[in-house]
Structure 1
Amino acid sequence: MNRSPNAMATLTEPEENASEDMYVDYEEKCEDRDEDGFETGDDSSEGEEDDFSGGEDSFEDDEDDSAGSDNDSQQDSDSDGNESTYDSENDFEDDYEDKNSPSSSTQSVFRSSWTSDFHRSSAQQFHPSKKRSDVVPTSPLQTFRRVFCDRVLNLILEQTNIYGKQKYQKAGSMKDLIDITKVQLEQFLGINIIMGYCRNPSIDSYWSTNASLRNEKISTSMSCKNFKRILGNLHLVDNSQATKRKECDKLYKVADFLNLLLQNFQTHFDLGEKLTIDEMMIKFKGRCAFKQYIKDKPVKRGYKVWALADASTGYIYNFEIYTGKSAERQMPLGEHVVWSLTRGLSRKFHHVYFDNFFTSPSLVERLLHDGIYSTGTLRKTRKGVPVEITRDFKMNRGDVRFLAKGPISVVRWMDRKSIYMLSSFGDPTKTTKITRKVKNGQVIHLDCPVLIQDYNYGKKIKQKLDSNIFLFPQCCIIKRFCHLSPRPFT
């Protein structure tokens, strides 16, 4: 049988299996989720008053246990497969109450108190990175090769062959050992990507004689036997040299690979002014010491990834895989995540958006001191929030109140419930008109702070990222490369 020399060359366009019905399915799974971002158009529901909808985190900050992205109890599986539970949100709040934490002991950047007068000088102009001089890729294949460059492929190739030798030597069957080539590795990667959007019940079915299951692009590129052989040997680290790393790094099996990918992510893209930071879930149901469980997510179990993305394109520029509590962390979890992801962006005056899991006055001040503007929804119970803005006083729908301290402002806006925002960039005195439908179907016009609409724009790309991860789970090939799962396919 004639085989295609490289399955990667066939991946210029997705097949029609990823239909619009899949997007509808994703939206249905998200119906019960809340989100910090909201649509400014009609949002009526029969029989009850309207509220924000369509995403992950809620604006309902009137309750102490507001629905943040990590408000729910999460479970970790240890190396023996045992389940242990902890509440990451409570952990986050406890960190903020720690009087010895750096955030608590650090003096405020702005020594003035919160007032109702807002006077802000003109914002610093955004300083974009120097434009890349290399040629812009003209096809999906060229884009893929920018990320999976020769250094990445050589790492996979070398470590996979080393692991194959170790395995066959231990089994005493060295005569069956066959090193894989770079062409075979590229074919293997191409097949994995196709399998990501062409879902079959099993691996063997892609090579089936049944025409309704058989995939010609896959079956003509590589035999099923060779595919399984590479899959069984796939490795990213030399186990014989990884003993010391294993003791101090839970990601030791993928650390070198992820570092190379991250370098390529940042080398071939120039960030825009507006950025967004949030969490993403990579579906995984196997045994892993840092597998997370979040019951209100479409992907409930898997790896949690903190990501910094360009707000206009959704391009992930920086990321970290969450591996659980760390004794070395010297600041609150949310603040630590934002600080870590924005290192290297100081004094460029980006505008970063994040939700109420991350937002705190100390974080916004810290970022502003580093030359980074920020905006985020805010929990009224967060340490440092002025009590004058959170008091229980009468507000009508559309009313706006704010307090300012230097260029930082905290805003309370009444929609169906009170919504709190904290920003070092927006002007709390500026409002715009939005429409809402009430119970009787009547359309009303409300004043809405411009900075809330601006925040909604900055966070809107998050839904697109979550949708892509949900629709094409096997394209997140981290989980099949790292051998965190003994069975990448089920």
Structure 2
Amino acid sequence: MLKKIGREEQQAIQASESPEDSESDNSENELAGEFSPDDTDDSTKEDSSDSEEKGSSDSEEEKSSDAVAVQQKHEEPDATVWTSKDKKLMWHPTHEVAGHYAHPRIPTPGPTLYACARLTSPESAFALFIDDEIVEQIVEMTNLQGLRTSNRWSLLTPQELRAYIGLLLLAGVYRSRHEATSSLWGEKTGRPLFANAMSHRRFAEINGMLRFHNVQKPKQHHANKLSPISELWSRWNFRLQKMYNVGRDVCVDEQLIAFRGRCNFKQYMPSKPAKYGIKIWALCDAQTSYAYHLEVYTGKPPNGTRETNVGMCVVLRLTDSLEGHTVTTDNFFTSIPLAQELKKKRNYLLGTIRKNKPELPSKLTKITGRKPLSSIFGFTRDLAVVSYVPKKGKNVLLLSTAHKAPKVDNGDERKPQMILDYNKSKGAVDHLGQACGTYSTRRRAQRWPMSLFFHMLDISAFNACVLYKAVNPSWNAKKRYIRRLFLEELGNSLIMPEVLRRKPETAAGEKQAAEQQHEAAAPTTKRKQCHLCTEKRIASNACDKCGNPMCRKHMKNICKNC
């Protein structure tokens, strides 16, 4: 009630004031900044104000000041939001905006039921990839080439082709990749196993005549650069995916097969040890390095239109049959459009990203004034980016759609959890190349299809070893060179049928010699007291007739006839 009376008195006082006083009050209000933006447009509006506007000046000034405050609040940028370089994405430093998604279920990682039902030996594991259909196709095309070009060509049989593959595997076990084939069959430097399985002349004939397609159809080369081996490669690649279920984490990277001959799609990669060769895109299981899907890069297509976003297209093709997996890539493949496309297929992306991407904010790309071992996180609803400074002047950027929280390890380096997960799965393809290069079947070749064929044998042998160890975990479990033992047993089983066909007595003798060598390598019985000595004397020999232990004092040397 008191406030209401005071307001009526104030209105009466303002009404009794002169126009000069009202003008002075208006000028004071203008100096104080309590005016609406419309009053500053034209000075004539102030002179034409009537007594009704003067009576309600206080209420209008309060409303105008509130409107200006609200307008300024919306115009000021939010300090907790970072805008990307292209002004299309808003990044937040907290993970409150990140959405939470449940990972879809995936098949049980490991060999499929189809493979488990057929795994009985290393040879059967290898036959899951180089099956009878592939062997018969190679035999048919090789015989066509041999009959077409040579009058003395004897028909190649599947058993002989398997022996040829077995010799390549054994040569890889013996680290003879850079050794001449003539020395493998030499009297002084060679190994009897090679000569018993196949003659050097026959091995050279097969190596020169080996073909994987019908050479009488040269028009296919214009439509498909990979036509000399494309049919065989597709059939083999299908079997890679049929035999194994990859785990939750997979890795996509590139490989380079060394080749310096004539090839339309030969690549130069100075960062690789081989420098020149054939590039292959590979998708591998992060835990076992199982090669799940391989694709040969043939460069520019024949129609002349170069493919754009090569890294993105490669990852989408390799992961076309996968769902619910986390794909690990390097900065050549990683991009935000790729993450969005993988999200549509319920797959996740984790990988390093280049700092020149327009979708990233400058807050994450600039490291001026930042301390070493510091991390800055940025989140959207579907994406997460971390900027980690391992040392002064270096910035590591990672993009992920599988991480939704800014977790940092408590170790000395204080690495984010995203980087730790990336380090666990980034080297699967590199480990595959290293393992295949240790015991490789590659020989010097002038034709690029042969280089791809040798690579197929290396990958098949490695995948077969992974399958066999998964089904038989106790096989040579205490030994550290399991893969060498697997390849040696596989090579011997492949060449043994051909050895028996050529020289049955030699094969039997080799088998008996191997058994004797195994018995000789077995631990001998414990030495005992001499049977005829009264004093303590350890005897290392025994009598041939009675079998009692005898020392040298009670033994006599006799000839064979006596």
Give TM-score scaled by structure 2 length: 0.60
**Is 1:206–1:215's contact at 8 Å kept on the other side of the alignment?**
yes
Q: Which SS does the other structure have where 2:125 is aligned?
A: helix
Alignment of 1:145 onto 2:123: no
Is the partner of 2:90 in helix, strand or coil? Answer: coil
Matched residue, 1:311: 286
**1:282 maps onto 2:257 in alignment:** yes
**Which residue of the partner structure matches residue 249 of structure 1?**
224
Q: How far 1:263 moved relative to its partner?
A: 1.2
Between 1:246-255 and 1:319-328, the stretch displaced more is 319-328
Query: Which structure's CA Rg is the greater one?
Result: 2
Number of residue pairs matched? 356
1:121 aligns with 2:121: no
Of 210, 225, 231 in structure 2, the residue corresponding to residue 234 of structure 1 is 210
Post-superposition CA distance 1:281-336 (Å, at most 9, x none): 11222222222221222222211111000001000000111112344555311111
Q: Could you say what secondary structure the match of 1:239 adopts?
A: coil
The alpha carbon displacement at 1:383 in A equals 3.6
Deviations 1:40-98 (A, max 9, x none): xxxxxxxxxxxxxxxxxxxxxxxxxxxxxxxxxxxxxxxxxxxxxxxxxxxxxxxxxxx
Per the alignment, do residues 310 and 148 of structure 1 end up closer, same or farther by CA in structure 2, a change over 3 Å counting?
same
Residue 431 of structure 1 aligns to a residue whose secondary structure is: coil
Mean CA deviation greater in 114-123 or 188-197? 114-123
Query: In structure 2, what is the Cα distance between the partners aligned to 1:204 and 1:151?
Result: 31
Task: Note if 1:472 corresponds to 2:439.
Answer: yes
1:319 is paired with a residue of what secondary structure? strand
Q: Which residue of 2 aligns with 1:62?
A: none
**Which residue of structure 2 aligns with residue 451 of structure 1?**
418
- Pairing 1:363-382 to 2, within 5 Å after superposition: 363-382=338-357
Deviation string for 1:21-43 (max 9, x for gaps)?
xxxxxxxxxxxxxxxxxxxxxxx
1:167 alignment partner in structure 2: 149
CA contact (8 A) 1:112 1:406 kept: no
Taking the TM superposition and a 5 Å limit, the aligned residue runs for 1:9-408 are 113-118=90-95, 119-128=98-107, 131-133=112-114, 134-135=116-117, 137-168=119-150, 174=151, 176-198=152-174, 199=176, 201-210=179-188, 213-241=189-217, 243-326=218-301, 327-328=304-305, 330-345=307-322, 348-408=323-383
CA RMSD of aligned residues (A): 2.5
For the structure 1 residues 414 and 481, does the alpha-carbon distance in structure 2 shift closer, same or farther, using more than 3 Å as the test?
closer
When residues 468 and 476 of structure 1 are mapped into structure 2, their CA distance, relative to the original with a 3 A threshold, is farther
Distance of 2:256 and 2:143 partners within structure 1: 31
Q: Give the deviation of 1:428 after TM superposition.
A: 4.4
Distance 1:433 1:362, change over 3 A: same
5+ long unaligned stretches in structure 2: 1-87, 456-562
Q: TM-score, normalised by structure 1?
A: 0.68
Deviations 1:360-408 (A, max 9, x none): 1111111112211010001101242233321343211121112112121
3-state SS of paired residue (2:343): helix
Q: Distance in 2 between matches of 1:138 and 1:399?
A: 53
Q: Which runs of 4+ in 1 moved over 4 A?
A: 327-330, 475-481
Q: State the shift of 1:132 in Å.
A: 1.9
Q: Judging changes above 3 Å, is the alpha-carbon distance between structure 1 residues 121 and 467 closer, same or farther for their aligned structure 2 residues?
A: same
Q: CA deviation at 1:137?
A: 2.2
User: Is the alpha carbon distance of 1:428 and 1:478 closer, same or farther for their aligned partners in structure 2, counting shifts above 3 Å?
Assistant: farther
Q: Distance in 2 between matches of 1:341 and 1:156?
A: 26
CA distance in 2, matches of 1:382, 1:159: 49
Q: Distance in 1 between matches of 2:446 and 2:240?
A: 18
The whole-number CA distance in structure 1 between the counterparts of 2:310 and 2:448 is 28
Whole-angstrom distance in 2 between the partners of 1:355 and 1:478: 32
**Contact 2:249/2:286 (CA < 8 Å) preserved in 1?**
yes
Residues 197, 293 of structure 1: alpha-carbon distance in 2 compared, 3 angstrom cutoff? farther
**Are the counterparts in 1 of residues 259 and 278 from structure 2 also a CA contact under 8 Å?**
yes
Structure 2 CA distance for partners of 1:197 and 1:302, relative to 1, 3 Å:
farther
Q: Is the 8 A contact 1:299 1:470 kept in 2?
A: no
Q: 1:251 to 1:477 in 2, by over 3 A?
A: farther
The one-character-per-residue Cα deviations of 1:80-139 (angstroms, maximum 9, x if unpaired) are xxxxxxxxxxxxxxxxxxxxxxxxxxxxxxx86322232331432332269424426243
Amino-acid identity (%): 28
- The within-5 A match list for 1:404-419 is 404-416=379-391, 417-419=394-396
Name the CA distance, whole Å, in 2 between partners of 1:462 and 1:209: 40
Bigger relative contact order, structure 1 or 2 (CA pairs below 8 A, ≥6 apart): 1
Residue 240 of structure 1 aligns to a residue in which SS?
A: coil
